[in-house]
Structure formats: structure tokens, C-alpha cells
């Protein structure tokens, strides 16, 4: 082989090595969408039984029109990993001690005055833009599949720019509350920043901003969600989370037959 051919072969080999290194680095850096979704779930919720207070406030054209306060007890199912929740109304007084039970894919509403439990849909509105499915504790990674993750800057609920992964996630089963969701998760922190929720026809149902991160049970978690109607941006529901605490949530509480016997603490 001539000296010129040897030099050329050496250059080609060096380029191949360089391209291979670039490809490997790109492959290592490529995000796994489902892992990002799982990490954002861990930011929103602890992985053990807990309780919290959820205050919902509805606004129309900037004026408060309704409010409700709920106490929520949640624990993950040992088999599925998805949260099961018991929700107790605290206010307004007319709704005090009414209950919602979310167990598996079943959701029941119990009214102590009638002593009847009625099956409900997760998509049914609870107050304003907040549906039953928004109030119960959910691990998105179990109900949805993240199909893609692309880098994108987005304006958060405080009008600040955040560098995020935009996830496109699709329901695993028809039981999921929404058909598909676009979710922006901040790079580095895995904090959910914004989400858009869609029907199976592609209609935008609502937009949500996750705000006011505070230290809760050892992790900085969002303590406020701003939910904006997909058609009327002046119809807004605010959900505020407080008093999050690690606690025992007995299996008995999560049984439909036990609802008439449940006593507030």
C-alpha cells in the first residue's frame, strides 16, 4: 500500500471513530420519555401512604364563584402501583362528610344523608374545571405511555421561561381520564411545569400550570395547580394543596362497603 493510501485510510478510520463517538454520546443523551414521566410523578407524589388538604376555588371572569375543601387519604395499590384514594368533603357545610372513593378504576360518591353510593366517572366535573380524575392522586406513568420527548422552552405559571422536555403521552386503556396529554417537564429537576389535556377527538379540554413548589415530605412539590378551560380562558379553577403528611391509610377505608361506617378523624 502506498504512503498516500495509508494516510487516507488513517484519516477515514479517524473519521469513523469520531462519528461513532458522536453517535454513542447522542444515544446516551437521548431521553427516555417514560422515565421522565415517572420522575415527574415522584415529584408530585410520595411513594407511601399520605394525607393532604385540597382547596378548590373557581373563578369566572376574575370573580370567585365557588369553592370547596377536601381532605384526601391516598395509598398505592400493592399490585398495580396506582393510587387509591378516599376523599372527604370538609366545606362548604352543605357537602360536609360526603365521600368519594377511588379504588382501582372504580369511583364512587357517597352521601351520608341518603346512605347511598353512586358510581361516577373520572371525567365528571367536581368543581369548575377540576374533574374527579384531577382530584384523586394519580401516577401518570401507570395510566399513560409517553411516546416522545423533545426539548422545548415554555412559559410557566409565573410567566418565567423554563427549559423542558415536552412529553406526548397517550392513555394505556380507555379507563384513563384523558385520551392524550402534552406535558412539559423541566430538565434537571423533573418538575412538571405545564400540561394540556385532550379528548379522543383532539379537542383541548383544559390547560394546567403546576406552581408554588415547596418542601413537602422531603421533596419540593407543587402546592398549587391552575386549571384553565380549553375554550374559555376566563374560566379558571385553582387547586391548593396543604397539610401533606405521611400517615396510615387503612385498607378498610378503601372499601365501598365501609363508606357508611367511615368516621372523620
**pLDDT at 218 (0 to 100):** 94
Q: Is residue 150 part of a domain?
A: yes
Mean pLDDT, residues 242-253:
95
Q: Is the peptide bond before 198 cis (omega within 30 degrees of 0)?
A: no
Q: Is residue 162 part of a domain?
A: yes
Structural domain range at position 205: 35-261
Highest mean pLDDT among 12-21, 108-117, 180-189: 180-189
Q: Is residue 65 part of a domain?
A: yes
pLDDT (tens digit per residue) in 36-45: 999 999 999 9
pLDDT (tens digit per residue) in 129-150: 888 878 888 889 999 999 999 9
CATH code (residue 134): 2.50.20.10
Q: Is residue 128 part of a domain?
A: yes
Mean pLDDT, residues 102-110:
86
- Return d(Cα 23, Cα 204) in angstroms, integer: 37
Contact 246, 49 (CB under 8 A): yes
pLDDT grade, residue 2 (50/70/90)? low
Q: Is residue 217 part of a domain?
A: yes
What is the total count of domains within the chain?
A: 1
- Return d(Cα 156, Cα 247) in angstroms, integer: 32
**pLDDT at 258 (0 to 100):** 95
- Return d(Cα 95, Cα 78) in angstroms, integer: 31
Q: Is residue 140 part of a domain?
A: yes
- The secondary structure element, H or E, covering residue 140 is helix 140-143
**Average pLDDT score, the chain:** 88
Whether the predicted pLDDT of 32 surpasses 90: yes
pLDDT (tens digit per residue) in 147-180: 999 999 999 999 999 999 999 999 998 888 899 9
3-state helix, strand, coil in the chain (%, to 5): 25, 50, 30
- Return d(Cα 226, Cα 210) in angstroms, integer: 7
Higher pLDDT, 3 or 102: 102
Please list the residues that pair with 168 across neighbouring strands: 148, 182
End-to-end CA distance of the chain: 88
Q: Nearest CA to 180 among 167, 166, 198?
A: 198
**pLDDT at 20 (0 to 100):** 44
Cα-trace Rg, the chain:
23
Whether the predicted pLDDT of 119 surpasses 70: yes
Residues contacting residue 155 through CB under 8 Å, at least 6 positions apart = 161, 162
Burial class (CB in 10 A: 0-12, 13-18, 19+), 6: exposed
Mean pLDDT, residues 88-107:
91
**Unique residue bearing C-alpha cell 405559571:** 157
**pLDDT at 90 (0 to 100):** 96
**pLDDT at 23 (0 to 100):** 43
Q: Is residue 95 part of a domain?
A: yes
Q: Nearest CA to 122 among 171, 191, 183?
A: 171
Whether the predicted pLDDT of 64 surpasses 60: yes
Contact 223, 241 (CB under 8 A): yes
- Return d(Cα 226, Cα 228) in angstroms, integer: 7
| Percent of the chain clearing pLDDT 90 (strictly above) | 72
Q: Is residue 153 part of a domain?
A: yes
Q: Pairing mode, if any, of strands 235-246 and 50-60?
A: antiparallel
Amino acid at each position: 500500500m502506498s504512503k498516500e493510501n495509508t494516510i487516507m485510510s488513517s484519516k477515514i478510520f479517524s473519521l469513523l471513530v469520531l462519528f461513532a463517538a458522536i453517535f454513542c454520546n447522542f444515544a446516551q443523551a437521548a431521553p427516555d420519555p417514560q422515565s421522565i414521566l415517572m420522575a415527574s410523578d415522584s415529584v408530585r407524589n410520595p411513594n407511601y401512604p399520605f394525607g393532604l388538604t385540597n382547596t378548590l376555588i373557581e373563578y369566572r371572569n376574575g370573580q370567585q364563584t365557588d369553592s370547596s375543601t377536601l381532605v384526601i387519604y391516598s395509598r398505592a395499590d400493592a399490585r398495580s402501583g396506582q393510587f387509591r384514594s378516599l376523599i372527604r368533603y370538609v366545606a362548604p357545610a352543605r357537602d360536609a362528610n360526603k365521600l368519594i372513593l377511588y379504588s382501582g378504576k372504580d369511583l364512587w360518591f357517597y352521601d351520608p344523608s341518603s346512605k347511598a353510593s353512586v358510581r361516577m366517572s373520572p371525567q365528571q366535573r367536581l368543581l369548575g374545571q377540576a374533574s374527579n380524575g384531577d382530584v384523586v392522586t394519580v401516577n401518570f406513568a401507570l395510566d399513560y405511555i409517553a411516546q416522545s420527548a423533545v426539548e422545548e422552552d415554555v412559559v410557566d405559571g409565573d410567566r418565567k421561561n423554563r427549559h423542558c422536555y415536552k412529553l406526548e403521552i397517550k392513555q394505556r386503556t380507555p379507563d384513563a381520564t384523558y385520551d392524550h396529554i402534552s406535558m412539559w417537564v423541566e430538565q434537571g429537576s423533573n418538575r412538571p411545569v405545564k400540561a394540556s389535556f385532550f379528548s379522543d377527538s383532539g379537542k383541548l379540554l383544559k390547560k394546567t400550570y403546576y406552581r408554588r413548589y415547596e418542601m413537602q415530605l422531603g421533596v419540593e412539590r407543587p402546592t398549587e395547580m391552575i386549571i384553565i378551560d380549553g375554550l374559555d380562558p376566563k374560566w379558571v379553577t385553582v387547586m391548593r394543596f396543604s397539610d401533606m403528611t405521611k400517615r396510615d391509610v387503612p385498607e378498610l377505608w378503601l372499601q365501598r362497603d365501609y363508606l357508611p361506617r367511615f368516621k372523620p378523624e
